[in-house]
C-alpha cells in the first residue's frame, strides 16, 4: 500500500509539471508498465484529479484545472513546510483566521508521526510596534482587487474616509497596483473623478459590482510604483529612500508572503506567485543578505551594485561551504 501511494505521489508530481506526458514516458520515469500507468491514472481520477487523455500517435495524459479542490498529496518534508508557513501566516497576517483553519484541517489528516512533528513546532511571529494599529484586510477584497488590476477594468467602490468613520464615499478609478507599505495594503489608482493619482487603504475599500470597461494603462509618476509610493509617504516615519543603498528585485513569492517580513520596504504584487520588492540598507552586501533570507529565486532589477553584492556573497558562501568542518587554531608558544 505504501509503495502504491508513493507511486501515485510521484505520478502526480510529474503531471503537475504542466506538460503532456505519453504513457511510455511516464512508465519509463516511474519504472512501471504502461498498464500500471493507466491503472494509476484511473485512481487519481477517482480521487478528483481532472486528468485528460491527449490524442495523438503515442497518446498521453495532461492534468487540467478542476472545478473543485481534490485531496492533496504531500511528502513528509512538504507537509512540514506547509505547516510552518500556515503557523507563520496565522500570527497576525491578513489571512490569519483562514490560515488557522487550514492548519487545523491539515493536522487532522496527517499520520501520527507527522502530527507529532508538527505539534513540536511553536512559531511566534513578532510584529513591529509601529504596526500595532494595522487593520485586517479581507482576503476576498485582495482577490477582487488583484483580478481587476490584471484585467485592466475600471473599479467602483465605497471608501471610508478614515477607520473611525462609517461615512462612505463612492469612487471610480482605474486600478494599477496593489502594494504594501509598513504593514498596510494600498491600492494605487487613477481617480477618474479627481483626475489624479491616489493611494487608497485597502481595509477601507468595499468594491462594487459590476466592474467598468477596460482601460489602457497610464504611466505612473516617477516611472515605477516604488518611486511613486516613497514620494507620497516621504516624511511619514521615513522611507526606503533614507537608506544610502537601495535596490529593487523580483521575488518568486506571493506579495502576501513577503509583506510581513519587509516592514521597511515596498512590496508590489506582480501576480499570484511573484512580487517586486524595493528595500534599503546601510551597505550593498547587507542589502543582498537581507533579500537572500526570503529563500526563493531572485531577479535583480537594479542597480548594478546590488547585483555585484550578490556575486560577492555567492563567492563567500561557496568558500564557506568548502571549509565547513575545518577548524584553524593559532597557538602561541
The CATH 3.30.70 portion of the chain extends over: 240-321
- Extract the C-alpha cell encoding 33: 508498465
Give CA–CA dist 109/98, Å, rounded. Answer: 17
pLDDT in tens, 211-252: 889 999 888 887 888 777 776 665 444 444 467 788 999 999
Give CA–CA dist 79/152, Å, rounded. Answer: 37
Which residues, in sequence order, are CB contacts of 89 under 8 Å at separation 6+? 95, 96, 99, 257
pLDDT in tens, 56-102: 666 688 887 665 555 566 667 777 777 777 776 655 555 666 777 77
The pTM of this model reads: 0.44
Residue with cell 558562501: 317
CATH class of 2-63: mainly alpha
Answer CATH for 240-321 from 3.40.50, 3.30.720, 2.20.25, 3.30.70:
3.30.70
φ/ψ (deg, to 5) at 226: -65, -45
The CATH 1.10.10.10 portion of the chain extends over: 2-63
Whole-number pLDDT of residue 249: 94
pLDDT in tens, 250-261: 999 888 888 877
Give CA–CA dist 287/280, Å, rounded. Answer: 6
SS3 157: strand
Amino acid at each position: 500500500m505504501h509503495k502504491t501511494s508513493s507511486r501515485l505521489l510521484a505520478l502526480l508530481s510529474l503531471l503537475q509539471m504542466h506538460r503532456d506526458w505519453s504513457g511510455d514516458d511516464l512508465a519509463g520515469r516511474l519504472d512501471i508498465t504502461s498498464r500500471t500507468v493507466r491503472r494509476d491514472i484511473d485512481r487519481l481520477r477517482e480521487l478528483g484529479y481532472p486528468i485528460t487523455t491527449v490524442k495523438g500517435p503515442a497518446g498521453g495524459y495532461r492534468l487540467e484545472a478542476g472545478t473543485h479542490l481534490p485531496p492533496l498529496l504531500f511528502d513528509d518534508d512538504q507537509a512540514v513546510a506547509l505547516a510552518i508557513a500556515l503557523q507563520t501566516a496565522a500570527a497576525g497576517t491578513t489571512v490569519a483566521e483562514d490560515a488557522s483553519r487550514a492548519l487545523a484541517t491539515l493536522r487532522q489528516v496527517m499520520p501520527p508521526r507527522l502530527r507529532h512533528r508538527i505539534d513540536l513546532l511553536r512559531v511566534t511571529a513578532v510584529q513591529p510596534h509601529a504596526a500595532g494599529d494595522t487593520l485586517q484586510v479581507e482576503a476576498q477584497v485582495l482577490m477582487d482587487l488583484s483580478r481587476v488590476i490584471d484585467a485592466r477594468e475600471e473599479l467602483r467602490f465605497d471608501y471610508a474616509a478614515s477607520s473611525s468613520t462609517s461615512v462612505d464615499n463612492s469612487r471610480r478609478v482605474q486600478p494599477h497596483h496593489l502594494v504594501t507599505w509598513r504593514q498596510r495594503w494600498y491600492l494605487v489608482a487613477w481617480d477618474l473623478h479627481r483626475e489624479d493619482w491616489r493611494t487608497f487603504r485597502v481595509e477601507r475599500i468595499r468594491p462594487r459590482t459590476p466592474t467598468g470597461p477596460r482601460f489602457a494603462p497610464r504611466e505612473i509618476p516617477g516611472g515605477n510604483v516604488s518611486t511613486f509610493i516613497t514620494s507620497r509617504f516621504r516624511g511619514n516615519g521615513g522611507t526606503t529612500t533614507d537608506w544610502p543603498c537601495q535596490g529593487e528585485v523580483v521575488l518568486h513569492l506571493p506579495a502576501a508572503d513577503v509583506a510581513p517580513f519587509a516592514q521597511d520596504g515596498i512590496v508590489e504584487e506582480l501576480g499570484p506567485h511573484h512580487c517586486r520588492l524595493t528595500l534599503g540598507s546601510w551597505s550593498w552586501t547587507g542589502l543582498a543578505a537581507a533579500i537572500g533570507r526570503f529563500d526563493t529565486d531572485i531577479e535583480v532589477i537594479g542597480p548594478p551594485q546590488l547585483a555585484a553584492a550578490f556575486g560577492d556573497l555567492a563567492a563567500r558562501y561557496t568558500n564557506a561551504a568548502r571549509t565547513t568542518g575545518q577548524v584553524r587554531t593559532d597557538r602561541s608558544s
